[in-house]
Amino acid sequence: MRMATSGGANYRNGTYRSSLKVDKPLSLNSNPKSSVKSKPLPSSGPRRNSTGSLGTATGAAKDDAGVPGRVRVAVRLRPRIAEESVGDADFADCVELQPELKRLKLRKNNWDSDTYEFDEVLTEFASQKRVYEVVAKPVVESVLDGYNGTIMAYGQTGTGKTYTLGRLGEEDTAARGIMVRAMEDILADISLETDSVLVSYLQLYMETIQDLLDPPNDNISIVEDPKTGDVSLPGASLVEIRNQQSFLELLRLGEAHRFAANTKLNTESSRSHAILMVHVKRSVKGRQSALSTENGANSHLKMLKPPIVRKGKLVVVDLAGSERIDKSGSEGHALEEAKSINLSLSALGKCINALAENSAHVPVRDSKLTRLLKDSFGGTARTSLVITIGPSPRHRGETASTIMFGQRAMKVENMLKLKEEFDYKSLSRRLDIQLDKLIAEHERQQKAFEDEIERISIEAQTRISDVERNYEEALEKERLKYQKDYMESIKKLEEQLVKNQQKHGNEKVPVGLKGDGSALTSNTESSKVSAVEEVAELKKVLQKESLLRKAAEEEVKSLKSQLAHCKRSEASGNSDILKLRKMLEDEARQKEKLEGEIAILHGQLLQLSFEADETRRRLDRGGSEVSGALDSLISQVKLQQHDSTNGEKASVAKLFEQVGLQKILSLLEAEDADVRIHAVKVVANLAAEETNQGKIVEAGGLTSLLMLLRSSEDETIHRVAAGAIANLAMNETNQELIMAQGGIGLLSTTAANADDPQTLRMVAGAIANLCGNDKLQMKLRGEGGIKALLGMIRCRHADVLAQVARGIANFAKCESRASTQGNKTGRSLLIEDGALPWIVQNANNEASPIRRHIELALCHLAQHEANAKDMISGGALWELVRISRDCSREDIRTLARRTLTASPTFQAEMRRLRIDY
Ligand code: ADP
Ligand code: MG
């Protein structure tokens, strides 16, 4: 069986075929081949091979307990050198190699030889490459997989140890030795980003370890880890190797130092051991570590698993020449000296003997070399030994001794252990990086999310305003259309009426027409008369009712006095009282019932009058009767507002339905001024009731009211319409509608032209309501709302001023909110529009409604530093201090105090003025 040239998978993992060893020729005289007898190696013996198998795994060893691996031994024969060729020309070589059988025959004499089997037999023709591949490469690969490995050369001086291990091969690539080739393989296999290669180069001579990379450092001690038993040399230089060139330089430097050191000590390098240590640290990426496989690690835990580093240490030892300690081959007198000089080598021999013989005691501690190589023989490293021999029969003894050394070494069994550990530092690094990445990513996402929200809200806002605009337009269109239709149908009806009149000639039979177009022939005069009669009748009923009520009240009074009398008499008064109470209750019920009936009758009457009036209006366009109907409508609405029993409310709602809001609103645009006044009064009264407001706006009432402000010259209309608008302006949606329809401009103009305090109060009230809408601030101010408000202070009426103050307070509050939310910067628009002097003047107005609003306005203004300077120069600070001390309302006092304390500008000014509180 031939060795695979690639280095052979069977070489790794200790899967050698059973070796054969022939200690002695079995036949003394004949063909040695036939005398060879195989004998199993003790590797299958009980001492070290606890698993009973040399292993069959094809990958790296995964058993933490280690896998058995015998020390591999190859023998290499050096070619004859020039002088030997001459001197030994007549003599046959002392060895004969049978590489195909992996055997070596050592000639004892001309007829007898001993045959030995080795793991590899390398002839004098073996190339350096081949030697590397069969001896070293498996060890190097093992080191790359996280095991310790040792490659050693043992042999007599001059047999080619250094040639085998240390040739740099600079002139001839093919001559490169094991060290150079090993580093080439290591560098080719590792990743420079994640892995590292550190090298020490040492010399051991006379039990002293010297750093060949730093020769003055010549007393390096060996340190053993008490737990793992690992040996290290902390004192030695460790040079990181990142490329082959630096390694070659390191070797050259080491060799030069070795030469210089030996010259100085007057020794030969052959007496010292050269030790190259290569520490390979690799991170296990992508591969599953031996431990995770073993523990069946959960995949979700993998993330948190520290990366695994494998640390392999390759030790290449160029041993001192073996000749000095070999008794049989050394000159007697030098023996003792040689022993003392090279205690280490003899100790190595002893250890190997002890290990080979399964001796209980292995004298590892006897020398530095054996301590250093503790792991290489009988330890946990994969070890390859190349024994070098020369062909010369003159050194037969040396050669024989070398061969015996090799044979014994082959019996040494190692337990390979994977040097794998978790790299927590790099895990932490990795997690840190990951965390930072996640943080950054999260920040990005949050930003994107916020942007998206903003985008959506802007989009929503534009959509809402679009819809609103469209709705308004559609509403307006619709309204105009209906108005037009209405006018047209009236025109048609009038035409028809004229035609009818002509047709009937002088006959005075009027024809009435209902709004829906169905003809109704009736005598309007008689209908009017009957309506009037009915009103009279109802009035009578009402009078009777009031008389009844009065009488009942009288009775109650007298009963009460009777009751008192009864109480005094203490006799049978109780039953009387009960009776009387019952009567009283009946009376009240009766009264209620009657009132309900009255309301219903009123409604009916109103409808009848309305219809009659409308018909008449169409006929004679007089209008005066319409106002009469509306008057009753108004009184009805007023009645609804003053009393509030359910029956009445229901009846008014019914009336509302029966008469039709649309009809009432249409009268706002009637040509007749009286009709308009009455209509606007009705609408204003309805608008005072919150439940009606929505319907009014929906039916276009707001628009009509605003139109009245614009088109009418009548102060009453202005006052009433403004009042209605003020009522409608309590609702936020309506506020927007008012603004959208130019309400501020109309109210401003109305205010400018009005003298009546009540008109001004209404207008100011409407604007004050609008001032309380956050969204409308800018528009309101832009359209002169604040100026209009301030314009109204010319009227000194307290009611007007209270509304102005309310408007200012509302506006200041909204501004303060906007500033706090960061939607507004700079000083208050109230200050910009010159409101401050009036505010300061009226901060202590004796009318409490004015004072309260102004106090609040001051507190709101003071909450923003941008206003502070103006407020100080305008005297507002004094007012605030006063409010904070004297205001009768505790909440306002506290607010003022807090506001003053919070403002650095006010604080500074107060310190300056020595105001303290
Ligand atoms: P040692 O290991 O005892 O120091 P060296 O490596 O110095 O021996 O070799 C001694 C001499 O023999 C050197 O001149 C070297 O070039 C030569 N030599 C050794 N081995 C071989 C070989 N396999 N082929 C050719 N020359 C060799
Ligand atoms: Mg040498």
**681 CB less than 6 Å from ligand 1?**
no
Q: Ligand 1 within 6 A of 162 CB?
A: yes
Give SS3 for 647.
helix
pTM, entire model: 0.46
pLDDT at 88: 63
**Cα–ligand 1 centroid distance for 124 (angstroms):** 11
Q: Is the pLDDT of residue 708 over 80?
A: yes
The mean pLDDT of the chain is: 80
For the cut 90, the answer to whether the pLDDT of residue 638 exceeds it is: no
pLDDT at 618: 61
**160 Cβ inside 6 Å of ligand 1:** yes
How many Cβ atoms are within 10 Å of 52's Cβ, its own excluded? 9
Question: Is ligand 1 within 6 A of the CB of residue 154?
Answer: no
Ligand 1 atom with minimal separation from the 321 CA: 3
Kindly give the number of the ligand 1 atom that is closest to the alpha carbon of 76.
23
User: Ligand 1: does its nearest atom lie under 6 Å from the Cβ of 70?
Assistant: no
pLDDT at 149 over 60: yes
Using CA atoms, how far apart are residues 467 and 235, in angstroms rounded to an integer? Answer: 85
Residue 523 has pLDDT above 60, yes or no: no
Nearest ligand to the C-alpha atom of residue 82: 1
Judge whether 900 and 871 are in contact, CB under 8 Å.
no
78 CB within 6 A, ligand 1: yes
Confidence check: pLDDT of 59 > 50: no
For 154-197, how does the pLDDT look when each residue is reduced to its tens digit (9 = 90+)?
999 999 999 999 999 999 999 999 999 999 999 999 999 999 99
Ligand in nearest proximity to the CA of 262? 2
Q: Identify the nearest ligand to the CA of 77 by its number.
A: 1
pLDDT at 329 over 70: no
Helix (H, G, I), strand (E, B) or coil at 246: helix
Structure confidence by residue, pLDDT tens digits, 745-786: 999 999 999 989 999 999 999 999 999 999 999 999 999 999
Q: Report pLDDT digits (tens) over 424-483.
A: 777 777 788 888 888 889 989 999 999 999 999 999 999 999 998 999 999 999 999 998
Judge whether 47 and 362 are in contact, CB under 8 Å. Answer: no
Closest listed residue to residue 746, CA positions, set 723, 717, 776, 722? 722
Q: How far is the CA of 157 from the centre of ligand 2 (A)?
A: 6
CA of 415 to the centre of ligand 2 (A): 30
pLDDT band at 235 (very low <50, low <70, confident <90, very high): very high
Q: Is 175 in the pocket of ligand 1 (CB under 6 A)?
A: no
Q: Nearest 5°: phi and psi at 120? A: -150, 135
Report which of 694, 631, 613 is spatially closest to residue 661, judged by C-alpha positions. 694
Predicted confidence at residue 509, as pLDDT, reads: 46
Q: Is 159 in the pocket of ligand 1 (CB under 6 A)?
A: yes
- Ligand 1 within 6 A of CB of 402: no
Specify the pLDDT at position 301. Answer: 53
Q: What backbone phi and psi angles, to 5 degrees, belong to 105?
A: -105, 125
pLDDT at 370 over 70: yes
**pLDDT of res. 423:** 74
For residue 166, the CA-to-ligand 2 centroid distance in Å is 8
Query: What is the best residue among 151, 163, 272, 318 to mutate for testing ligand 1's pocket, by most ligand atoms within 8 Å of CB?
Result: 163
pLDDT digits (tens, 9 = 90+) for 793-840: 998 899 999 999 999 999 999 998 898 888 888 899 999 999 999 999
421 phi and psi angles, rounded to 5 deg: -145, 165
Ligand 1: distance of its center to the CA of 883 in Å? 110
CA gyration radius, the chain? 60
Q: Is 81 in the pocket of ligand 1 (CB under 6 A)?
A: yes
Predicted confidence band at 334 (pLDDT cuts at 50, 70, 90)? low
The predicted structure's pLDDT at residue 341: 63
Among residues of the chain, what percentage have pLDDT more than 70?
Answer: 77
pLDDT (0 to 100) of residue 536:
86
Nearest atom in ligand 1 to 78's CA: 23
**Ligand 1 pocket, 177 CB below 6 A?**
no
pLDDT for the residue 616: 62
If we measure between CA atoms, which residue out of 824, 835, 837 comes closest to residue 865?
A: 824
Lowest mean per-residue pLDDT among 13-17, 517-521, 653-657: 13-17
